Amino acid sequence: MAECHPVGFRWVMEAKRRGATIIHIDPRFTRTSAVADIHVPIRAGSDIAFLGALVNYIISNDLWFKDYVVNYTNAAALISKDFQDTEDLDGLFSGWDVEKGQYDPASWQYEGVEVSPAAGHREMFSGEPRAERGAIIAAEKHDYTLTDPKCVFQILKRHFSRYTAEVVEDACGISKALFEKVARALCDNSGRERTSAICYAVGWTQHTVGVQYIRTAAIIQLLLGNIGRPGGGIMALRGHASIQGSTDIPTLYNMLPGYLPMPKASYDTDLQKYIEFNESASGWWSEFPKYMVSLLKAWYGPAATAENQWCYDYLPHITGDHSHMVTVAAMADGFVQGYFVMGENPAVGSMNTALQRKGLRQLKWLVVNDFAPTETAEFWRKAPEIASGEIKTTDIATEVFFFPCAAHTEKEGTFTNTQRLLQWRHKAVEPPGDCRSDLHFIWHLGRRLKELYRDSTDSKDRAIRDLTWDYGSKGAIEEPEAEQVLAEINGYDSSEQKYISGYKELKSDGTTICGCWIYCGCYKDGVNQPARRKPASEQNWVAPEWGWAWPDNRRLLYNRASADLEGKPWSERKKYIWWDEEQKKWTGYDTPDFIVNRPPDYRPSPDAKGIDTLSGIDPFIMQAEGKGWLYDPSGLLDGPLPTHYEPEESVLKNPLYGQQCNPARMEWVRRDNPYHKAWGDSRYPFIATTYRLTEHHTAGGMSRWLPWLCELQPEMFIEVSPELAELRGLKNGGWATISTMRGEIEARVLVTERMQPYVQNGTTLHTVGIPYHWSYVGRSRGNAANELTAFIADPNVSIEESKAFSVQVIAGRKRSDRRAAAGGPLNESDSGGPERDHPPVQEKPGGKHGLKAGKTELTEEA
């Protein structure tokens, strides 16, 4: 966190000054470790073994927060009798569908009830899509004594019982004594009087089991009562400024603003069906139609009417997985014509950069919008395969357009941080020369497209013609009024002629427009709420008048959980939101995240519908049954409980299960994306992990052109332990060549005790640390770490595994005659070697462009 989020880390240090214990778990000893109270070096890729052991420690030592767990989580819910655990099936859950190559989650569901999740794969359910999922949530069965072997708590207990301190030693390379110190520190600091927070950065997500890492953290926090309470929670430290904002109002292929799913071509064939499949009969998602209709009204204005389903048909309907790697694989096979790259540098920052560039070479056109011509913009003349002569520039037909962009000081708008806090950013100076903001680029592109199609009578062009695009502009460069965009996002009530002040005011009759329901209220009363800057000294410590947090200016989600069953704070010290018996409403330092006048003793009647189904002790209002999920009955593609699986390329056999890897992972079986053996590949014997340094920013677009930053970390280097240096003859300050079957790079060597080997069952395992900032253009150049990485991903979110894979490292510079892997593997492909999967999983059908990920994840091309 100190490495990649030094400004956010300010508050960690502030907490430390006040006596907080900082525990840092990382394969490397980093700047965070330097100031932490405890540093735990963990083998990259073994986090679930570690976190699972914490779960086991909490349960077996009876350290869980009983009132919280019994009442606020789904611990008491009974699970289907058909459910079988990984403990029963050697690493698989029940429901593996051999034909489809994926799980059928029917057996994971609550006994007699089917619920859809608040997030994740909401469309994932057993059988054919149908309406009214969750309608019978009241029929859910419970055992509040938590003793029924089919209740969530008992299943959880059994599932993690093998995750012991000894397993942590074997799988993670962490001594029992050190593990117990961490466990004790965490548990001592949780309960009524105290809370602990877990912070993670994007590195945690970059594993084939990344989502389940975070799920395990959620289980720990729910067991300890650390969710919805001040000082608790799980903080996702996003990759850079406003990545949270770009998820809320997404640049993701499968979501519309406010986490509404993108319509699916195969079954969301009209608005009615789309709503039926996505609204929930209970909990907050029962309000779904209001959000969707208001969004369509924001986009298509007067053209959107009840008769034409509010222009629902104008929306693109997705035909499968169109995430980054899926698209680039299709691109490399010639199926993608054009590519907008804005503020991203996939030729450096994305996996298997040789394959990325192969994709770029097949495009008709490429638009890069960045500060300087990045590697992505320059791939056609400066890439390694061009330098080596393997590919000739004259053979590349891609037309590349480069647009210089404005820096954050040269444009206005908002940043949304990890706490969902929107902060308005004022423009300090005009952008120089031809540099323009992203907003400027998109708005003017849209204007020109609308002009182009103005006279078209073709019905397919209606989506562009009817799009509302009437923002004002200002100044000589015609910069769009960012505040008008914010106002549209906030929403407007056309019948009452006023700005929406909260999402509860949204309607499904077309009289409200709203660009993103969760942002409703950010322009309340026509005031730019994110621009508020009231000092902390003039308001309560939660500082509700600094910026604006979604939803409804809530600083802490699910904060009903900060009070006990009767609505009283769990402790005076951790007082936050409570039930005011006199005023008959919830009150406190923050906006209550609950139905404000619903008393703690309210219990729904059996025939209740919508939000009336939430009882007075259901803090997790986005879930259909209002409880925090220790166990996920649906929503995840790789199982209801986190399970330790090894990375695609490991140095170890899975110490817990015969199933080596996540069975549902996404693989790309292609000649230009070869994998090493599952484990014990003597050609690639070392663990590799990639990461960022404080001095540079991601793929370098913002930092490698700046001399002040380049001098601080001037060259590509790797970090190795003195033991590995000795083993491989590496000299500090000298050169090393690092290779995988995808590519080969050279780097300077930094020998440091901050890297340390792990001894597991008598075998010494070494880690090579590889910063990923460098590549072939800029003021500071070097080989790109992602020449080494592979297309391989978590099935839930299609995020790559770059934080744990296997490599070879040898002393000396790269042999000049060896090319980057543009055409195929650098080594003999893997024949034989241990299997990653149990036989039924091996039957997984292959899809297009080499993707092997189960049936629902296949891409369809027209």
**Interacting residues toward another protein by CB under 8 A:** 2, 6-7, 9-10, 13, 16-17, 29, 31-41, 174-175, 178, 181, 693-695, 707-715, 717, 732-733, 748-754, 756, 779-780
Least gap, CB of 375 to another protein (angstroms): 18
Q: How far is the CB of 164 from another protein (least distance, A)?
A: 19
Residue 805 in 3-state DSSP?
A: strand
Q: At what angle do helices 152-160 and 47-60 cross, to 10 degrees?
A: 120
- Rounded to 10 deg, the angle between the 176-188 and 47-60 helix axes is 60
Q: Closer to another protein at the Cβ: 387 or 712?
A: 712
Neighbours of 476 (CB within 10 A): 6
Cα–Cα distance between 767 and 755 in angstroms, integer? 7
Identity of the residue, 13 or 165, whose beta carbon is nearer to another protein in the bound complex: 13
CB of 548 to another protein, least distance (A): 24
**In the bound complex, what is the minimum distance in angstroms from residue 568's beta carbon to another protein?**
34
Give the shortest CB-32-to-another protein separation in angstroms.
Answer: 7
The angle at the Cα of 216, spanning 691 to 669, to the nearest 5 degrees, equals 55
Distance of CA 126 to the CA centre of its chain: 25
Q: Which is nearer to another protein, 181 or 427 (CB)?
A: 181
Quick one: which of 809, 633, 818, 688 has its CA closest to 737?
A: 809
**Structure-token pair, residue 345:** 């540098």
Q: Which residue has the tokens 């169109």?
A: 322
User: DSSP code of 131?
Assistant: S
Cα-flanking dihedrals φ and ψ of residue 82, to 5°? -80, -10
- Residue 178 or 797: the one with the smaller Cβ distance to another protein is 178
For another protein, which is the closer residue by CB, 408 or 748? Answer: 748
The label of the residue with tokens 């240090």 reads 13
**Nearest CB to another protein, comparing residues 17 and 460:** 17
Instruction: Identify residue 816 by its one-letter amino acid code.
Output: S
Nearest distance from C-beta of residue 536 to another protein, angstroms = 16
Q: C-beta of 537: minimal distance to another protein in Å?
A: 18
749 three-class SS? strand
Question: 3-class secondary structure for 634-671?
Answer: CCCCCCCCCCCCCCCCCCCCCCCCCCCCCCCCEEECCC
Q: What are the C-alpha distances in Å from 31 to residues 426, 691, 769? A: 32, 13, 14
Residue listed under structure tokens 């069906």: 273
* Nearest by Cα to 789 from 653, 684, 704: 684
177 CB burial (10 A radius; 0-12, 13-18, 19+): exposed
Asked if residues 274 and 267 have their Cβ atoms less than 8 Å apart, the reply is no
Query: Which one, 47 or 638, has the nearer CB to another protein?
Result: 47
Q: Hunting for tokens 């640390």 — which residue is that? A: 769
> From the centroid of its chain, how far is CA 452?
37
For CA atoms 768, 773, 779, 782, the dihedral sign is positive
Q: How far is the CB of 419 from another protein (least distance, A)?
A: 17
What DSSP assignment string belongs to 579-598?
EETTTTEEEESS--SS-TT-
Cis peptide before 551 (omega within 30 of 0): yes
- Using a 10 angstrom Cβ sphere, with 0-12 exposed, 13-18 middle and 19 or more buried, the burial of residue 622 is middle
- Smallest gap from Cβ 136 to another protein, in A, equals 51
* Closest distance of CB 723 from another protein, Å: 11
CB of 35 to another protein, least distance (A): 6
**Which one, 754 or 803, has the nearer CB to another protein?**
754
- Return the number of the residue (34 or 397) whose C-beta is nearest another protein: 34
Q: Which long-range contacts (CB under 8 A, 24 or more apart) does 536-543 make?
A: 540/589, 541/589, 542/589, 542/590
**Could you tell me which residues come within 8 angstroms of residue 80 by beta carbon, excluding any fewer than 6 positions away?**
106, 107, 108, 109, 110, 111, 150
Furthest C-alpha separation in the chain: 81
The smaller minimum CB distance to another protein, of residues 2 and 821, is found at 2
Q: How far is the CB of 169 from another protein (least distance, A)?
A: 12
Q: Shortest distance, CB of residue 748 to another protein, whole angstroms? A: 5
Percent of the chain as helix, strand, coil, to the nearest 5: 30, 15, 55
- Closest distance of CB 56 from another protein, Å: 21
Shortest separation between residue 713's beta carbon and another protein, angstroms: 7
The distance of closest approach from Cβ of residue 30 to another protein in the complex, given in angstroms and rounded to an integer, is 9
Query: How far is residue 462's CA from residue 446's CA, in Å, rounded to a whole number?
Result: 14
Q: Calculate the CA 326 to chain-centre distance.
A: 17
The tokens of 565 are what? 């069953």
**Number of C-alpha atoms within 13 angstroms, CB side, residue 287?**
20
CA distance 425 to 141: 50
Residue 289 Cα distances to 275, 284, 296, 397, angstroms: 6, 11, 11, 46
CB of 42 to another protein, least distance (A): 10
